[in-house]
Amino acid sequence: MLSRVVKEHNQKQAAHKDVQERRKREAAIEASKLTYRLMDTLNSGVEKAYVNQRKLETEAKQLQAHVAQYSKQTTLWLKMVESFNQSLKELGDVENWSRVIEADMTSIASALEYAYKGDGPQSTELAS
């Protein structure tokens, strides 16, 4: 009888160990699945961040290239405006010079006309 009780006890313990081992394996499998899902979720977020970072870097490089291009274009425009201003100044100088020449020519023409007509003070003294 004692041997039978011991035998039953050993059988129950073996069955209990088997159940525990099965539960342990199932728990390990489920833990592995959970870990995989968590890592997949984390990796997904990291992957999105990495993709976004790459996009930002690409856009930053494009923006930098556009800024450089606009800077060159602005420099060219500034040079053109400065050249235009210089041309306007030169035109003003030419206009002023032409007015001075015109005034001088008018003065010379008046003097020549005055001398030609003989209306000057010297012609009246010679006649008397």
Contact present, 17 and 25 (Cβ < 8 Å): no
Per-residue model confidence (pLDDT) at position 47: 86
Per-residue pLDDT for 124 more than 70?
no
Condensed to tens digits (0 to 9), the pLDDT of residues 43-89 reads 888 888 899 999 999 999 999 999 999 999 999 999 999 999 998 88
Q: What is the DSSP string of 78-93?
A: HHHHHHHHHHHHHHHH
Q: What percent of the chain has pLDDT over 90?
A: 58
pTM for the structure as a whole: 0.46
